[in-house]
Amino acid sequence: MIAPTVPVTVAYNKDPSPIKLNLGVGAYRTEEGKPLVLNVVRRAEQMLVNDQSRVKEYLPIIGLAEFNKLSAKLIFGADSPAIQENRVTTVQCLSGTGSLRVGSEFLARHYHERTIYIPLPTWGNHPKIFSIAGLSVKTYRYYDPASRGLDFRGLLEDLGAAPSGAIVLLHACAHNPTGVDPTLEQWEQIRQLMRSKGLLPFFDSAYQGFASGSLDVDAQAVRIFVADGGECLAAQSYAKNMGLYGERVGALSVVCKTADVASRVESQLKLVIRPMYSNPPIHGASIVATILKDRDLYNEWTVELKAMADRIKNMRQQLFDALQARGTPGDWSHIIKQIGMFTFTGLNTEHVAFMTKEYHIYMTSDGRISMAGLSSQTVPHLAGAIHAAVTGVA
Ligand SMILES: Cc1ncc(COP(=O)(O)O)c(C=O)c1O
């Protein structure tokens, strides 16, 4: 399990060194190391401000209807039969975390199997969200430290041994913290195994478009599960892909076998949400809906999204090249093979402690670094620190 990022940032903030570098933050930064508000978000906000007919009334319990519809289309595809057949119910929630929490509260109350399998390792908040909601949490093998890639055989063995009907948490793309995703062929095998055992997929989609740069490519895993007509849940976050971190905007979708079940699920979701926070906030969802429904704004978003994804890929390449150029011992190809915001470097706790002490570089103790926190200026500093750590520390 990963250490929380807050203590990393606290330690970073206290460090007076001018060369300090924070690679623990799970948020995008520009080449200049600054947070980014997308231009398309600024435009949408301006349109909202200028619209004098807008009021600040409460939203319904399940949020902004238009936002929910557009969010389902974004993840499942505009022509998804599940949407056309009204088998999907979508509720606006408080970003990815809130969507996972509402989904797991619903499952703990109404689903016949209360065990959820999560990958090992996974995002540090997952076990807490699910256990507090009342699910029993078990793990399945996911990451192979030797290859720094997917432990596919371990994954199939563990899911194959799970009790039928169990819930399985799947990262839709850009697995956090490892950056290791199954290939499409592997996803298909996972799907077949899960469907044959009646395991319920619960997708966490926190990085759609942010991983590959394409919204459709990053939704492929989810879509192959929905295409078979079976049930699944999906938690969406707009924190990363629209840079709306603090607006707390996300959605939970439940794909059901029939329209009738979908409408009953929606009633039950309302009963989960009402005593938790009554109804969700209006501003972030209005920004998202404004962008998703307007062709011009949508296109601008895809360009800005791709630029973020490309910058991260470029940082991967630069770091890999810098280590190659130094002749740093070991195989570092995982840096360019992994995908998304994070690289699971394979550096151990001692390496991390050394790099923090000697080079003022901050990261989680499991060796995960945020590629989004790097720039062309800081890559040599990091490469030098990694080289010194692996050549000088046991
Ligand atoms: C895998 C994963 N799921 C969900 C989230 C939820 O983020 P948020 O609640 O900000 O949308 C994150 C954020 O880091 C994440 O990495």
Task: Provide the 3-class DSSP secondary structure of residue 258.
Answer: coil
Chain-centroid distance of CA 346 in Å reads 21
pLDDT, one tens digit per residue, over 353-384 is 999 999 999 999 999 999 999 999 999 999 99
Domain 5-37+310-392, classified CATH 3.90.1150.10, yes or no: yes
* Residue 235 beta carbon below 6 angstroms from any ligand 1 atom: no
- Mean pLDDT, residues 294-309 taken together: 98
The residue nearest atom 13 of ligand 1, judged by CA position, is 206
Distance CA 226, CA 229 (A): 6
Report pTM: 0.95
* Residue 123 beta carbon below 6 angstroms from any ligand 1 atom: yes
Fold category of 58-293 in CATH: Aspartate Aminotransferase; domain 2 (3.40.640)
Written as six digits, the tokens of 72 are: 């389902």
Nearest CA-CA partner of 167 in 122, 129, 115 = 115
Residue 7: pLDDT band (50, 70, 90) is confident
Contact between residue 326 and residue 389 where contact means Cβ atoms under 8 Å apart = no
Contact between residue 288 and residue 41 where contact means Cβ atoms under 8 Å apart = no
Q: What is the pLDDT of residue 394?
A: 66
**Whether the predicted pLDDT of 296 surpasses 80:** yes
- Mean pLDDT, residues 88-111 taken together: 98
* Residue 97 beta carbon below 6 angstroms from any ligand 1 atom: yes
Task: Parse the chain into domains and list their residue ranges.
Answer: 5-37+310-392, 58-293
Phi then psi dihedrals of residue 277, to 5 deg: -150, 15
Distance CA 1, CA 122 (A): 6
**Whether the predicted pLDDT of 350 surpasses 80:** yes
The residue whose CB lies within 8 Å of the most ligand 1 atoms, and thus the one to mutate among 237, 277, 368, is 237
Contact between residue 23 and residue 9 where contact means Cβ atoms under 8 Å apart = no
Distance CA 363, CA 321 (A): 21
